[in-house]
Amino acid sequence: MKTILEKIIAQKEREVALKISIVSNHQLEKSELFKRAPFSLSERIKNNSLGFGIIAEHKRRSPSKASINQSLQIQDVLAGYENAGASGSSILTDNSFFGGSLEDLLLARATTQLPLLRKDFIIDKYQILEAKAYGADAILLIATALTQQQVFTLSSLAKNLGLEVLLEVHNLKELEQNLDAPVQLIGVNNRNLKTFEVDIDNSLLLAKHIPNDIVKISESGINSAKAIQKLHAAGFNGFLIGEHFMKTNTPGDATQKFIEEVTQLIH
């Protein structure tokens, strides 16, 4: 039996091969947005006056949740996130498993001045060119889905294009074998991608092993201000949160309320 991750990667390989046959690298590089200078997600988080940064995610559904919120317009969600004081936004661009698209990224870019993270299962250089062409400022690389060489090669290309990299790790081995890669942010995913169980202790276990010059992000299963207080005390600068906001009718309002709660706790 294939794991969910293995199914996603197999599907992604088919998708990328098909896209390459239709739109060339050269065509992507000629797009208008390819010329823009990206914003720095890591700097926005490090220099946030609150002392922490929230990467607020746009996510319609996931393999573990058939529907989170499919009724909202992405423009409204992103405007709400920016007004709420988020440091950046994560945009799901995988369609088959998460209901997202590159058009979501394009609409998000047209809506907001927030740094945008393209969140997808990136396995090929082509997807990084796509990210740049559709207005992303940063990309996600998932260590468990890539070899050490792939992480290094893909993050080097992103850096050359001016894009930042959030490298997602799940355990100490994945972290240690990729410390040479030129990444600006390391995210610890509290969700086991094989079982989809969530435990924020995973972030707490890895916190002290992440170099201090890299922005530390905790991802998945963060749904309370107290959880952020605990993670912030352990050294995390930023927090990627999606479902907690997206399951409401007004994600921007939920984000603002959450940021206010966290600010009261940690100051």
Mean pLDDT for the stretch of residues 79-90: 97
Q: Is the pLDDT of residue 69 over 80?
A: no
pLDDT, tens only, 139-170: 999 999 999 999 999 999 999 999 999 999 99
- Please classify residue 202 by burial: count the beta carbons closer than 10 Å to its beta carbon, then call 0-12 exposed, 13-18 middle and 19+ buried: buried
User: Which residues make beta-bridge pairs with 142?
Assistant: 168
Please count the other Cβ atoms lying within 10 Å of the Cβ belonging to residue 37. Answer: 7
Tokens of 82: 């920016």
Residues 104 and 91 sit within 8 Å (Cβ to Cβ) = yes
Mean pLDDT for the stretch of residues 20-34: 97
Residues 167 and 183 sit within 8 Å (Cβ to Cβ) = yes
pLDDT, tens only, 193-233: 667 788 889 999 999 999 999 999 999 889 899 999 999 99
What type of residue sits at position 44? R
Mean pLDDT for the stretch of residues 43-51: 93
Q: What are phi and psi of 115, to 5 degrees?
A: -65, 135
- CA separation, residue 239 to residues 12, 101, 206, 250 (Å): 26, 23, 15, 19
User: Among all chains, which residue has been given the structure tokens 């200078």?
Assistant: 37
pLDDT-above-70 percentage for the chain: 96
pLDDT band at 5, cuts 50/70/90? Answer: confident
